[in-house]
Structure 1
């Protein structure tokens, strides 16, 4: 009941404009025990409260095999109000997306939330991946791809160099009429080396899914990389040259291997 009341309170704080759907979710480890569900509810409630204040939280609740571990993180550039709203939405949707599952993960544009009956905190997780890519191809595709890789690597390096959980944001002028924007981030529980390795592993999907594409993002449970030809991270670029591009995307989901 306490969880329901708390989630209801957070739902009242959701701005009317916040209606984004989750980008992806992952469910595993079927478990219908009452104690596990109680622990899951407690972890979700704790994550929602604590991460709303600082953009990141890890927690655990339970004993022995019934212990549930949780993590929540907002994208490092979003406002506190958007972070709180996103986490409240994730807290509502995660149990719905993964009923009776002891391993559940939910990705939004602005935040990520997960829980598991195995302690994953501090471990880089690159098993499950979601890739979203724009259906529109860039002009001068080879030059565009080269510019993207250089920019993404700069964003990755910036995220790692700046410290745990820091956000890498970079922009480059591709043509007189087009800029490219890139963003990279790891979950804050990772050490810098693990963060660098996680971000590097996202690049293996670029030749397969992102080649020539005007926009693409690769989402792991521990890190993410994204680029677009329009400003998508904050603060928004007031001098953007190409904000009116087609935003038609498709999704590829690769299960754990």
Structure 2
């Protein structure tokens, strides 16, 4: 291998780019593939090297493992590899996904990671339903509270009921004990998750940081996302699906349209009843 490979740090200048998109979505094949962020090392490995073989092997192992588990981590060093050629990697699916959905999400994530970070010594990619990362220096079991993606929705102003519900949802997420947590209060729902290579205590520490940052930065926002290196916390005042404003307008228009149809139908039935009643009375009067 004719170059030195450095570890990927999601907070280091080695990142070529980090792209952010944050929006909850209902569990479906398309929404689980919604892009959130990607980070790639600027340093490249040479084609045909042992390191490339190890990267390909670990990504293949990640995809295969995702069909039977929602989390796994790997250390790959194929025969002929030097100590510096070792590759570490992991994947994590959202805690409510089936094995089939997890596999599909991870497979898509690995494909996107290859397209975005082709030849990079390290890379990490987060989709709506799953997370994949690889590197030449072990990050497994290492807590990482670096902010890699954060986004807040529009302000809802001083809407005390929604803000109180938001705070209750985040308080429950912060007080949990599981790696995957879901909470809801009325229209406000939230979700939080840690990468499972952390201990329960490290997970709690990471989520506490994410939730504090979320409350601080998003304030009175209708929804908010906070992704740290090894955990994330999210909430939405429109529920877990967090539909777009256009979706809401379409639903409102559809509801009005259906209401008008129902009203016309009732009017027709009522007029038909009156007509029959009038005809009946007219017939009785004519006898």
What range is the shorter-chain TM-score in?
Answer: 0.7 to 0.9
Q: Alignment partner of 2:122: what SS?
A: strand
Q: Alignment partner of 2:138: what SS?
A: coil
The reply on whether 1:229 has 2:237 as its aligned counterpart is yes
Distance 1:184 1:16, change over 3 A: closer
Q: Give the number of the structure whose residues are more often helix, by fraction.
A: 2
The reply on whether 1:117 has 2:136 as its aligned counterpart is yes
Q: Residue 38 of structure 2 aligns with which residue?
A: 25
111-120 or 27-36, which moves further after superposition?
27-36
Q: Residue 51 of structure 1 aligns with which residue?
A: 66
Q: Distance in 2 between matches of 1:150 and 1:217?
A: 16
Q: Distance in 2 between matches of 1:218 and 1:19?
A: 18
C-alpha contact 2:166 2:237 (8 A) present in aligned 1: no
Deviation at 1:148? 2.0
C-alpha contact 1:152 1:184 (8 A) present in aligned 2: no
- Summarize deviations over 1:49-107 as a string: whole Å, max 9, x none: 11231111100112511111001010001222221111110111112111222220000
Determine which of 200, 204, 215 is the counterpart of 2:208.
200
- Summarize deviations over 1:130-175 as a string: whole Å, max 9, x none: 01322x22242466444323311212322xx23xxx31111113xx
Distance 1:113 1:54, change over 3 A: same
C-alpha contact 1:104 1:116 (8 A) present in aligned 2: yes
Determine which of 71, 76, 92 is the counterpart of 1:73.
92
Answer with 1 or 2: which has the greater Rg: 2
Q: Distance in 1 between matches of 2:193 and 2:117?
A: 25
Distance 1:31 1:17, change over 3 A: closer
Q: Distance in 1 between matches of 2:147 and 2:42?
A: 14
- List, as ranges, runs of 4+ consecutive aligned residues in structure 1 with deviation greater than 6 Å: none
Aligned length in residues:
214
Q: Residue 137 of structure 1 aligns with which residue?
A: 155
Q: Distance in 2 between matches of 1:226 and 1:19?
A: 15
Q: Distance in 2 between matches of 1:25 and 1:247?
A: 27
Q: Distance in 2 between matches of 1:104 and 1:190?
A: 19
C-alpha contact 2:40 2:117 (8 A) present in aligned 1: yes
What's the Cα RMSD here?
2.4
Q: Alignment partner of 1:57: what SS?
A: strand
The reply on whether 1:211 has 2:219 as its aligned counterpart is yes
Provide structure 1 residue ranges, at least 5 long, that are not aligned to the other structure.
1-14, 174-178, 234-242, 249-257
